Amino acid sequence: MNGQYRDRVWVNYSTNIVAANTNSAVFLASFLSYLGISKDYVSALEVIDLQKYKIIKKQAKVRIALTERMKIPFVFIVGKN
In tens, the pLDDT along 21-61 reads 777 777 877 777 777 667 778 888 898 888 889 999 998 89
Burial (Cβ within 10 Å: 0-12, 13-18, ≥19) of residue 13: middle
| Size of the chain, expressed as the number of residues it contains | 81
- Residue of 27, 32, 64, 73 whose CA lies nearest to 45: 64
- Residue of 71, 30, 74, 29 whose CA lies nearest to 55: 74
pTM of the model: 0.52
Read off φ and ψ for residue 28, nearest 5 degrees. -65, -40
